[in-house]
Chains A and B, each alone.
Chain A
Amino acid sequence: MSETILQVEGLSKHFGGIVANQDITFSVEEGEIISIIGPNGAGKSTLFKMICGVRPKGSTRKPDSGTVHFHGQNITMLPAHKICHLGLALVFQETEPLRAMTAIENVAVGSLVRHDSYHEALERGGHILERVGLSHRRDSTATDLTLAELKRLEIGRALATEPSLLMLDETMAGLTLNEMQEALDLVRRINREGITTILIEHVLEAVMAVSQRIIVLDQGRKIADEIPAAVVKDPTVVKAYLGGEINNA
């Protein structure tokens, strides 16, 4: 029987009078691929940042209430770097490369979480670049990569931290259909290697094809948590989010 890897309970966040997240509760089992979807402003990215402990300077992304447990440990108030050490890696919605560093250096920096020696991290980084299909761009500066390559690089960098849970925030955004397909294949491969995956997405077709379960948010509230086939038929989801039937590609 699989173990619960992530447990989110009653998570709420308000910005003044605006509800970003209200009483969000869900859990993720080891080995799953789940997706969190919702229209713009549904509170997906806020939820993502609260779970991962990402708090840009000056922001107050700590939850107002609720808890997040990862592998049974309460991580609600932990900063991102400590959460990363526990095995939760993330890929941002906007690409956030280490701009002036090469592809291999970007990935090696990720490896430093598990390796004290930079040279070991470089070696490991080489394998990761192969895994994400970027070994031919090893010595290219991050700013010279295409958007699709940058997204692969960031997935590689997250993998380099040797996570047990990978959270991807709108990784498909801005990709062509072909690139999206390649990215999805990569996500499936990563999941087959035993890494639990959470996709936070806007591209519904992508989510349908890859997810075992879908959580739908609307106006900061969870309105569904079901298998994809059930989500497309859920009248609350159709009404609140889709405005009609989903084209299940």
Chain B
Amino acid sequence: MVEDILRNLGRLGWPWRIAVLLLVAGMVLFYFTGSPYYQSLFLAIAMYVVLCSSWNIISGITGYVSFGHVAFWGLGAYITAVLIVKLSFSWPLALLSSGLLTGVFAALISYPILKLSEVYFAISMLALAETVKILVAYFRGLTGGGGGIYLPPLIRPGLAFLLMTILALIVVLMTYVLQDTKFFKSLLAINNNELAAGSLGIDTTRRKTQAFILSAVFPAMAGGIYILNVAFIDPKTAFDIGMTLNTIMMTVFGGLGTVLGPVIGPVVFMLLSETLWARFPFIHKAILGAIIVLLVIFLPRGILTSLLRGVERLRSRMRRAT
């Protein structure tokens, strides 16, 4: 698999390498010079890139559509907060621990939950998010209960922006280098036909568990960065189903099961949403809704997939013409 990863990295052409370098340079420059408004906008975009890319691993690539992805984000936020407030962890250690502990949590629940598929899995994940929300609200002494938990200000918004964009870059690059490997092809095989995948020697339980853990760790860390930035979280915000729905919509909007779809989706959607909000403050949601409906009708496979298919069709027409 290492050989495949190195090969995939090598396949990243010079235009892409330059684009990544420019992006990193831009991020650092923006960290020093960007206005707080734009830093917070791009932090939100980067956070959704993390959520969409990680959701894409279990749902877009493996085919287990989760309606409870926010559970990992909320859990990560709470673990970070509790470790800092109750156990006096430093924030970097708390942040890393939130990813690690949420990964352990995902591993523990994966055994029963991944035995389910299709709508049953989706509903179970929805129920999981609600259960975690209730538990967090119940253990008042540890979590602050329904009133939420406060943190002292530990990092500046600029640093939160930088951390979130670095995390987003890591997730996207990881998805890219893994795409033509034994691991990802096994997940795709499970998505296409789990029975056949098992008969071809793929340990479907193990692979699904690995994908599930991977898809849980990154949103947890994004949740951790979020709470370091805003210094407060309550169960209602931490486990809001709206966040899962946004994640699903943006990924599908960008291109389900692709590497760049979960990047394009949040970038286009959030910039569009922000522009509409600025220009049409009273009806921006109605316009956004109409645009989504049109996109679902005309680009049902998402922007990237439709674009790639269009290019492919054009190429084959040109080939036929010559």
Binding site for B on A (CB under 8 A): 52, 54, 56-57, 79-82, 84-85, 89-90, 92, 96-101, 105, 108-110, 112-113, 116-119, 121, 157, 161
B177 CB to closest chain A CB (Å) equals 12
Apart from A112-B202, A119-B180, list 10 A-B contacts with CB within 8 A.
A98-B193, A99-B193, A101-B188, A105-B185, A109-B185, A109-B200, A119-B3, A121-B182, A121-B185, A157-B200
- Cβ of B86 within 8 Å of any chain A Cβ, yes or no, is no
Which residues of the partner chain B approach A113 to less than 8 Å between Cβ atoms?
200-201
Q: Are B1 and A117 within 8 A (Cβ)?
A: yes
Q: With A81-B203, A98-B189 given, is the CB distance from A112 to B182 under 8 Å?
A: yes
User: Could you say which of B1, B180, B186 contacts A109, with CB atoms under 8 Å apart?
Assistant: B186
Count: A-B pairs, CB below 8 Å: 89
Name B's interface SS: helix
Do A161 and B200 form a contact, CB below 8 Å, given A100-B192, A118-B185? yes
Q: CB-CB < 8 A to B186: which residues of A? A: 109, 112
Whether A80 pairs with B189 at a CB distance below 8 angstroms is no
**Which residue of the partner chain, among B4, B115, B180, B193, contacts A97 with CB atoms under 8 Å?**
B193
CA distance A98 to B192 in the complex (A): 5
Whole-angstrom distance between the Cβ of B5 and the nearest chain A Cβ: 10
CB A33 to nearest CB in B, in angstroms, measures 21
What's the minimum C-beta distance from A50 to chain B, rounded to whole angstroms?
A: 14
List chain B residues, Cβ under 8 A from A119: 3-4, 7, 180
Which residues of chain B (181-195) have a CB below 8 Å from chain A? 181-182, 185-186, 188-189, 191-195
Taking the nearest CB of chain B, how far is it from the CB of A151, in angstroms?
Answer: 13
Alpha-carbon distance A85/B47, docked complex (angstroms): 41
How far is B286's CA from A214's CA once the two chains are assembled, in angstroms? 69
A57-B117, A116-B182, A118-B4 known; A98 vs B201 contact (CB < 8 Å) = no
B interface residues, how many (CB within 8 angstroms): 27
Q: Is the CB of B198 within 8 A of A54?
A: yes
Can you report 25 A-B residue pairs in the complex whose CB atoms are below 8 A from each other?
A: A57-B194, A79-B198, A81-B199, A81-B200, A81-B201, A81-B203, A90-B199, A92-B196, A96-B196, A97-B193, A98-B189, A98-B192, A99-B193, A109-B185, A109-B188, A109-B202, A112-B182, A112-B185, A112-B200, A112-B202, A113-B201, A116-B1, A117-B3, A118-B4, A119-B4
Q: Which of B182, B195, B196, B199 has the most CB of A within 10 A?
A: B199
Q: Which residues of B contact A112 (CB under 8 A)?
A: 182, 185-186, 200-202
Known: A84-B201, A85-B201, A161-B200. A96 touches B185 (CB 8 A): no
Interface residue from B188, B203, B204 paired with A98 (Cβ < 8 Å): B188
In the complex, A52→B195 CA distance in Å?
Answer: 12
B199 to nearest A CB, angstroms? 5
List the 6 shortest-distance A-B pairs measured between CB atoms, nearest first: A113-B201, A84-B201, A98-B192, A96-B196, A80-B198, A109-B189
Most central of A85, A100, A112 by chain B CB within 10 Å? A112
Q: Is B197 engaged at the interface, CB distance under 8 Å to the other chain?
A: yes
Q: For A116, what are the chain B residues with a Cβ–Cβ distance below 8 Å?
A: 1, 3, 182
For A94, give the chain B residue with the smallest CB separation.
B195
Cβ distance A70 to chain B, nearest Cβ, rounded Å = 14
